[in-house]
Structure 1
C-alpha cells in the first residue's frame, strides 16, 4: 500500500481531490506556499526517511532538481544524476533498459562511468545479479574519428573486472538486441543479442531510442532519475497515465530492493 504525501497549496490540493473519486484513499497533505518550498519539503521528507521516492508534480523540473543537488540540504548521493528507462517491448524477450535519455546532455567519459554505475545499482535492486550493458556505437570497432566508439572501448576496460555487471562496447544496436545479428556478424563478445541495458552516447540518441520503442514498437515504459538517496520520477507532459503508473511501481520496487540490499550488507 502506498500512502502519498501531497505537497503544495493545501486548498488547491483539496479542491482537486474533491473533483475525483477514489475509494478508501489514504494520503497526507503538506502545505507549501511556493513551488520552491514544496520541492524543499519533499526533499526533507526523503532525507528523514519518511518517503521512499519523489514524483514531480505541477512544478518546473529545475525547481525540484535545484533542491535535490543543494550541497547543504539536498539528497544527491552520486556525482551524477542520470535517467534510466525500462521498457517492455513485444519483440524483445525481457525488459530492456536505456540510459541516459533524460538528464546528462553530452556526457564525458567520467560521467558515462557514473551513468553506468547508477544504472547498475538499479538493476541490482531489481534482482539482477550481473546485468549486461551494451555501450552503443555505429559498429563494433574503435574509430578514432567517432568519439562514442573510443569511449565505449575505455568503458569496457574500466568495468572489465566488475563482479556485478558485464559492460561491452563499442557495439551496434542490432548485435545488442538480436542473437541472429550477433551470429551473422560472428561477434565474439559476451553480449549476444541479450542486452539488459543500452548505454547511449548522448541524451539525443538515448531519448530517441526509448521513445521510438514506445511510439513505434508498442513498448511500455517506466523511467526514474537515479543517483540520489531515493528514486525520482520526472515524467514529461506527454507521458501517458500508464507510463506514470509504471514509473511509480518501478521507483517503489527499486527503493524497496535498495533497502533490502542495505540491510543484508
Structure 2
C-alpha cells in the first residue's frame, strides 16, 4: 500500500477491502453515535452491534435513518453493563472494534483496562489522531490527547511506539517523531525538555522511527522556523508525528485543530486488543466517519497479522 496522504485517501483505502467490520457500540442510545454510523453503513464499512436499552436504541436507530435489518441489538441496562457487553463481544471474536456512545470515556477505559478484560494487548493505551494541516500535502499524527494524563519516560516510549505503528498503517516506513516542548534546548526547569532528551537517547538508531527533540511546535513542522532557529537535525521542520508531554498540551492542541483550524480528524485509541473509537460530542460527522475508517484499517491489519501467525 502506498502512503495515505489525506483522510479521504483513508476512506478510499479501506472501502474495497472486504466485508463490513463488526463494531460493538457501547451505550448506543446516543443520537451522535447513530448518525455517525449511518454513512459508514451506507459505504459498507461496518456492521454495528448496538448495545443498550433495546427498545430505546431501536427507536433511535430508526429515527437516525439506520437500516435496522442490517444491525444487531444487544440489551443492556446502564453504562457499565453496556461497556462489559462490548468488551465481551470483542473478547469472543464477535466484534473487531468498540465505539463509545452515551457513556463517559473514563467508564469504557476503566472496563477495558481491567486485568481480566482480555483487552490489554499492550501495557497501556494511547490516543492517536491523524490530521492534514492546511497547506500540507501529507497527514500528521498527534499523541496523546485523550488517555495519558502525565506520562513518565516509559509511558512516553509506549506512546511513541503505538503512534509509530499507526503511522505504518498509513504508509510511513520510518516516520520522523518530534517530542514537543516549549523550546529547542534542554532546560532542567522544564520537565518536558528533560523527558524529550531521555527519549531521544532511548530511540537512538531505532530501526522503526527517527526521534528528535525537544522542539517547539513551529520548529517541529516548519522548515523555515527550523532554519531560522538553526535546528538542523533529521526531524526538525519535517515531523510526521507530534508527541506532546501530557494530556493538557495534547488536548489543547487537538481542540485547536478543530476550533481554530476547522480541520477534520481521525482518532482512535490503540494498545488494546482491538481499536477503540471514542468520539467527542464536538467532533464533526466527517471526523467521526474518518475515525471509524482509521479503526477499521487498524482492525484489518490486526486480523491479517493474526492470520499470518
Q: Under TM normalisation by the shorter chain, which class is it? A: over 0.9
Equivalent residue in structure 2 for 1:170, among 202, 214, 220? 214
Matched, 1:111 2:155: yes
Report SS of the residue matched to 2:129.
strand
Matched, 1:153 2:226: no
Shift of 1:262: 4.5
**Residue of structure 1 equivalent to 2:267:** 223
Greater mean deviation of Cα atoms: 117-126 or 224-233: 117-126
**Normalized against structure 1, the TM-score is what?**
0.93
Task: Verify the 8 A CA contact 1:67 1:74 in the aligned structure 2.
Answer: no
Deviations 1:185-222 (A, max 9, x none): 23221114221110001111111112212222232111
Matched, 1:141 2:197: no
Task: Verify the 8 A CA contact 1:86 1:96 in the aligned structure 2.
Answer: yes
Aligned ranges 1:14-53 → 2 under 5 Å: 14-22=58-66, 26-53=70-97
Shift of 1:24: 8.1
Shift of 1:108: 1.2
Report SS of the residue matched to 1:49.
coil
Task: Verify the 8 A CA contact 2:62 2:68 in the aligned structure 1.
Answer: no
Task: Verify the 8 A CA contact 2:266 2:294 in the aligned structure 1.
Answer: yes
In structure 2, relative to structure 1, the CA distance for the partners of 1:69 and 1:24 (3 Å cut) is closer
Deviations 1:21-47 (A, max 9, x none): 345861111111232221111111111
Structure 2 residues not aligned, in runs of 5+: 1-43
Shift of 1:146: 0.9
Task: Verify the 8 A CA contact 2:178 2:236 in the aligned structure 1.
Answer: no
**Residue of structure 1 equivalent to 2:173:** 129
**Residue of structure 1 equivalent to 2:285:** 241
Shift of 1:147: 0.8
- CA RMSD in angstroms comes to 1.8
Greater mean deviation of Cα atoms: 252-261 or 83-92: 252-261
Aligned ranges 1:185-200 → 2 under 5 Å: 185-200=229-244
Count of paired positions: 265
* Partner Cα separation in structure 1 for residue 195 and residue 271 of structure 2: 21
**Residue of structure 2 equivalent to 1:64:** 108
Task: Verify the 8 A CA contact 1:125 1:255 in the aligned structure 2.
Answer: no
**Normalized against structure 2, the TM-score is what?**
0.81
Deviations 1:145-204 (A, max 9, x none): 111111101101111122111111112211211111222223221114221110001111
Deviations 1:73-92 (A, max 9, x none): 24012222121111122122
Task: Verify the 8 A CA contact 1:126 1:254 in the aligned structure 2.
Answer: no
* Partner Cα separation in structure 2 for residue 261 and residue 158 of structure 1: 27
Structure 1 residues not aligned, in runs of 5+: none
